[in-house]
Structure 1
Amino acid sequence: MTIGAQRAGWMSTGLSWHEGRALLGAVSGARVHERAVEPGVEVGWLLHGPRRCTGAWLAGATERTPCPHHAVIDPDGGPTQCPACQSVDRGLALARDQILDDGRTYLLYLAWFGEGLLKVGLTAEQRGDSRLLEQGALAYAFTARGGLPAVRRAELTVAASGLARERFKSRLKTEHWWSHGDAAHRRTVLTAARAQAHRLLEGHAVERLADRPVVDQVERYGLAGGAPEAYREIAGLADGAVVAGRLRAPIGKHLFLDQADGSGPLLLDTRRLTGWTLTPVSGRPSEGLALQERVRPPEPDTQEALF
């Protein structure tokens, strides 16, 4: 079954990455379906509301547990879980430092999202590069390895030094897709940053990783030539909206969809789909969407003033 052929009545859980593949998920009750997101595929989704909570990942569970309250959530962005599901979600508990140690091995990473956008974070070793792909990191370097408490302390140390930040807003990341330098520059920046991080982590109870290669993902995302010169970003969805087009390579949780009428690509943050019920449609244009224009900014004028 292709992405565009999801059955009616399935609620979107958004896009995730697993073993290097982008997957669009949907649930119906306790059943979960995932479809690979491939460039060149035509998709069309009719949205049905209300938008509902997607449930939670519970400790020890291998699949998401549906929301027992079928709670309605904000239709225009915002959290994709109701407060009750947020309170028991394992991933959120880790992010909020409510789980101090879960026995797993973690990796500390430095991720590059553009000039001046260096992020430090951690991910469970068993997830490989999935977290870096989900964030849309243009390049990254694994920096240290250890148990959760030690790696979390290492993350805080690097962040406190000012070398890298723990978070960047999505809009700031996408603005750097137009201009991101070359692979050699990204490798140089990350190699130097990792060496500096290792000096900061002397005495920490982590294994410092000096021989892991810097991984560059710009070509994988189809961004070697930068983002489209101009596009429209989907800023809001509503009941009855249609999202349609031909997919480009996924970038983190974002999808570019080329429009059949030649009006230019749309950019969809798939987190906006999460919680809506989708019905496949074909031959229908995108409609019912709140859109914002995005245009490549002019190059800075470096010519010296004459007077």
Structure 2
Amino acid sequence: MADWTVTGLGWHDGVPRLGATDWQREHAREITAGLRIGWRVSGPRRCTGVRSSRGHRRCPYREQVAPQGGSSQCETCQRADPGLALARDQILDDGRPYRLYLAWFGAGLLKVGLTGEHRGIARLLDQAAPVFTFVGRGRLPAVRRAELTVAQAGLARERVRSSVKAAAWWGLAEVADRRAELLACRREVLRLLAGHGIELLPDSPVVDQVGLFGLAEGAPAAYRKVTALSPGATLVGTVRPAIGSHLFIDPQGADGHPQDQPLLLDTRLLAGWGLAAADDVRGCSGLGLRDCVRPSEPGAQDALF
């Protein structure tokens, strides 16, 4: 990439693509397993604008946003964002059909949510749902009421934090077990929503995405999570399969050799930063990092020495 500002990583037609703009053109690069990257971050971090069904609209003010954490949008663009308006219940009915889904993120970790039918399974890919199924469809008000009914009944939660999802990657159940847990929840949900005013989908397939995300063997036993970026930071290495908005990267050290522990990057941290090719650097630098290690098995005896 020449000098581009990152707008975010999203799944399109089942493929993860990192979007960027030079404020005149848009570009999206496929981020596939085995891709070799060499990126240098530049600032300041600026608002990423608004994305809707009609495409991406750049921030008219090129507003600066907080360099670490928080939103990659300025307040004006947040107010104009239809996705945020939907999440905040500011859209009552837009006339389009929506689907109600159940997603399994780990043992005892089930989520209920809704997505526009026109988006297919993109939302479930964006959310890195290991397993999911659709349970109903209808207009937005009815599907939203059904979502709240399921959540209030305690069958599934409305939100699962990224840190909770990542922690669950260390202990994903076997294929049959995760499928069985999701199907058991779906049976309860279908009973609960009978006569609720939405079209139920009892025969919708259960989709398992664990292999697609490269999590068949779980997450690496130890890795370092990228917690912060700053101007001049570099990322050099080879990416593993994308997991929603997250990338495991096998990094290259300053000596030009691979490092032992992979990095976990939530690409939402990149949104708003400038990104350019870094062919002249040999390793990663300028990153805030936190060590993450697989917890000991319950009941495991501590080592004596």
**Shared fold per TM-score greater than 0.5:** yes
Root-mean-square deviation (CA, aligned residues, Å) is 1.3
Tell me by how many angstroms 1:263 deviates. Answer: 3.0
| Aligned counterpart for 2:262 among listed residues 265, 276, 283 | 265
Task: Check whether the contact 1:108–1:121 (CA below 8 A) recurs between aligned residues.
Answer: yes
CA offset digits 1:23-57 (Å, max 9, x no partner): 10001214211111110010011011000001113
The count of residues paired between Structure 1 and Structure 2 equals 295
Query: 1:123 matched to which residue of 2?
Result: 115
| Aligned counterpart for 1:226 among listed residues 218, 226, 230 | 218
Query: 2:192 matched to which residue of 1?
Result: 200
Unpaired runs of 5+ in structure 2?
253-257
Once residues 272 and 148 of structure 1 are traced to their aligned partners in structure 2, the CA distance between those partners, rounded to angstroms, is 31
Q: TM-score scaled to structure 2, two decimals?
A: 0.94
Query: 1:57 matched to which residue of 2?
Result: 51
| Aligned counterpart for 2:153 among listed residues 130, 150, 161 | 161
Task: Check whether the contact 2:95–2:139 (CA below 8 A) recurs between aligned residues.
Answer: yes
Once residues 124 and 158 of structure 2 are traced to their aligned partners in structure 1, the CA distance between those partners, rounded to angstroms, is 13
Once residues 204 and 30 of structure 1 are traced to their aligned partners in structure 2, the CA distance between those partners, rounded to angstroms, is 48
Task: Check whether the contact 1:14–1:271 (CA below 8 A) recurs between aligned residues.
Answer: yes
Task: Check whether the contact 1:30–1:65 (CA below 8 A) recurs between aligned residues.
Answer: no
Once residues 7 and 262 of structure 1 are traced to their aligned partners in structure 2, the CA distance between those partners, rounded to angstroms, is 26
Once residues 262 and 237 of structure 1 are traced to their aligned partners in structure 2, the CA distance between those partners, rounded to angstroms, is 19
The residue identity in structure 1 corresponding to 2:2 is R
Task: Check whether the contact 1:19–1:128 (CA below 8 A) recurs between aligned residues.
Answer: no
Task: Check whether the contact 2:133–2:205 (CA below 8 A) recurs between aligned residues.
Answer: yes
The residue identity in structure 2 corresponding to 1:115 is A
Query: 2:275 matched to which residue of 1?
Result: 278
Task: Check whether the contact 2:235–2:251 (CA below 8 A) recurs between aligned residues.
Answer: no
SS in 1 for 2:114: strand
| Aligned counterpart for 1:143 among listed residues 135, 138, 142 | 135
Once residues 291 and 35 of structure 1 are traced to their aligned partners in structure 2, the CA distance between those partners, rounded to angstroms, is 25
Query: 1:12 matched to which residue of 2?
Result: 6
**Pairs within 5 Å for 1:87-102:** 87-102=79-94
Query: 2:255 matched to which residue of 1?
Result: none
Tell me by how many angstroms 1:219 deviates. Answer: 0.9
Q: Please identify runs of 4+ aligned residues in structure 1 that moved more than 3 A.
A: none
Tell me by how many angstroms 1:262 deviates. Answer: 2.2
Q: Percent identity?
A: 53
Query: 1:69 matched to which residue of 2?
Result: 61
Unpaired runs of 5+ in structure 1?
1-5
Query: 2:37 matched to which residue of 1?
Result: 43
